[in-house]
């Protein structure tokens, strides 16, 4: 699927109309290609907080070049500011002092990350200052332009060394459609951060389960996890068996065809993973359906089927895998929510309820899990797929433009976010919900 409007804006007449009519002019986003360095350029680092001295070393671990000094005429691919040292509102001026002089020195598709301390872990004036960082980063995300992204990473004290995988993701093209987000590291306790021998294949030797894997976002999740070294076990309905088997054979993976809402589905999945693979390291609940109608016209079947597939099945499957100890120590569970579950959507009370429930599922499990197992969610916004291609033109155009990047995302953007959660270095990223939405203007 392609964005025809974005292509039109690069033509001579398109450029003229954009300029004269003030139309959106989306920047072509840079996305990661296997084999490329994570960041093609230099990252400027600043601040005087807990991570200031260790930042260059953390970035070097994933091959990101950094400098603490901005030379005359030097341009930067990214900016990282350690704001953990800001303990009062008066000290927030340090943000302006660092960012204002270098904002015009950024290359196309730049990445900006501010690091803070979780406000809930501090008090008084420091809590005020740290909470203020959210307004700063979200606003900067809406004005940075040129395909740029801005994120806030709250790092709990003692979890500084656990920030590497998150910095690598947020400073790279892997996070092309993620902006204005708040990530918490170590807020739900600490876990060991294992060394990763090969940063290009962090999931080598791992088993990854992906439901709804035969096409669309699920297919891209399978491909990206395979790229990162995982053996993928794809699950989909029997009607999709041909596509599923073809994809899994291409990826040297395994497959299982069943209806995840079936009474024996959790047991069958647990048995398959245990008997054939000795367990599972990554569980991605991607399978989902829509049955849209306004609530006044909502039939029982439309409601029940959406809740069953999108919410009840992931709950029951996860519970079975945990109870049977099929999820290996240090494993990662990821739910696919939706921006509809956060902001709501006309005609989708059933779908929005199910996706908000996925977020509740993450909240309920985050403090319950043991053995270093984490649970997180992604909440996609307007992602260009075969399903969205069938949406009426006007509705589709509004959906794609109503975000800071003025364009829709791609299935790979969701997949890259899930791969970051699954990365062994993300062992202290737990209980997060990250929106893959280009920073929607409403509800995000």
| In-domain check, residue 322 | yes
pLDDT in tens, 211-232: 999 999 999 999 999 999 999 9
Higher-confidence position of 395 and 372: 372
388 and 252 part of one domain: yes
| In-domain check, residue 102 | yes
378 and 322 part of one domain: yes
311 and 373 part of one domain: yes
CATH of the domain at 104: 3.40.50.720
| In-domain check, residue 285 | yes
**For the residues 344-365, what does the mean pLDDT come to?**
96
Q: How many domains is the chain partitioned into structurally? A: 3
- Say if residue 443's pLDDT is above 60: no
| In-domain check, residue 76 | yes
pLDDT in tens, 281-339: 999 999 999 999 999 999 999 999 999 999 999 999 999 999 999 999 999 999 999 99
| In-domain check, residue 280 | yes
Which two tokens mark 29? 């986003």
Of 155, 185, 215, the domain-final residue: 185
Cβ proximity of 177 and 409 under 8 Å? yes
| In-domain check, residue 444 | no
Tell me what pLDDT residue 155 has.
Answer: 98
Tell me what pLDDT residue 279 has.
Answer: 98
3 and 96 part of one domain: no
| In-domain check, residue 443 | no
39 and 150 part of one domain: yes
Mean pLDDT, rounded, of the chain:
94
Higher-confidence position of 162 and 17: 162
What range defines the domain where residue 286 resides? 207-436
- Say if residue 199's pLDDT is above 60: yes
63 and 131 part of one domain: yes
pLDDT in tens, 24-83: 778 999 999 999 999 999 999 999 999 999 999 999 999 999 999 998 889 999 999 999
Q: Active-site positions?
A: 351
Tell me what pLDDT residue 16 has.
Answer: 76
262 and 164 part of one domain: no
228 and 156 part of one domain: no
Of 126, 153, 185, the domain-final residue: 185
19 and 43 part of one domain: no
386 and 237 part of one domain: yes
- Say if residue 389's pLDDT is above 70: no
180 and 274 part of one domain: no
Tell me what pLDDT residue 430 has.
Answer: 97
- Say if residue 399's pLDDT is above 90: no
| In-domain check, residue 202 | no
Which two tokens mark 136? 């700063």
271 and 354 part of one domain: yes
Helices 265-277 + 313-323 axis angle, to 10: 40
Residues ≥6 apart with Cβ < 8 Å to 21: none
Q: Looking at the whole model, is its pTM more than 0.75?
A: yes
């Amino acid at each position: 699927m392609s964005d025809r409007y974005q292509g039109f804006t690069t033509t001579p007449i398109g450029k003229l109309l954009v300029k004269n009519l003030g139309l959106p002019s989306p920047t072509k986003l840079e996305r990661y290609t296997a084999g490329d360095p994570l960041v093609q350029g230099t990252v400027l680092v600043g601040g005087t907080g807990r991570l200031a001295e260790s930042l260059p070393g953390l970035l070097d671990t994933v091959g990101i070049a950094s400098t603490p000094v901005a030379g005359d005429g030097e341009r930067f691919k990214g900016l990282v500011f350690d704001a953990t040292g800001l303990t009062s509102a008066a000290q927030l001026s340090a943000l302006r002092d660092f960012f204002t002089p270098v904002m015009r020195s950024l290359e196309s598709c730049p990445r900006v990350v501010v690091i803070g301390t979780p406000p809930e872990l501090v008090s008084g004036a420091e809590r005020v200052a740290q909470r203020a960082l959210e307004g700063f980063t979200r606003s900067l995300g809406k004005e940075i332009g040129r395909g740029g992204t801005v994120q806030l990473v709250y790092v709990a004290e003692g979890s500084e060394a656990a920030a590497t995988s998150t910095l690598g993701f947020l400073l790279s093209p892997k996070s092309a459609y993620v902006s204005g987000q708040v990530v918490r590291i170590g807020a739900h306790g600490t876990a060991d951060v294992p060394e990763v021998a090969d940063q290009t294949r962090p999931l080598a030797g791992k088993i990854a389960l992906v439901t709804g894997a035969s096409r669309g976002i699920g297919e891209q999740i399978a491909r990206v996890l395979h790229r990162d070294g995982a053996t993928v076990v794809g699950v989909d309905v029997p009607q999709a068996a041909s596509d599923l088997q073809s994809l899994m054979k291409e990826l040297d993976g395994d497959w299982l065809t069943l209806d995840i809402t079936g009474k024996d589905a959790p047991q069958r999945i647990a048995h398959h993973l245990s008997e054939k693979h000795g367990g599972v390291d990554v569980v991605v609940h991607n399978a989902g359906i829509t049955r849209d109608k306004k609530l006044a016209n909502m039939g029982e079947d439309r409601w029940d089927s959406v809740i069953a597939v999108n919410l009840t099945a992931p709950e029951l499957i996860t519970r079975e895998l945990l109870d049977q100890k099929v999820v290996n120590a240090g494993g990662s569970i990821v739910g696919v929510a939706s921006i509809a579950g956060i902001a709501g959507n006309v005609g989708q009370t059933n779908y929005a309820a199910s996706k908000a429930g996925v977020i509740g599922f993450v909240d309920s499990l985050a403090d319950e899990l043991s053995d270093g197992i984490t649970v997180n969610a992604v909440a996609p916004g307007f992602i260009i797929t075969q399903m969205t291609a069938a949406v009426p033109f006007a509705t589709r155009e509004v959906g794609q433009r109503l975000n800071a990047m003025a364009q829709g995302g791609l299935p790979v953007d969701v997949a890259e976010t899930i791969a970051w959660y699954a990365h062994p270095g993300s062992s202290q990223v737990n209980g997060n919900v990250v929106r893959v939405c280009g920073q929607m203007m409403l509800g995000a």
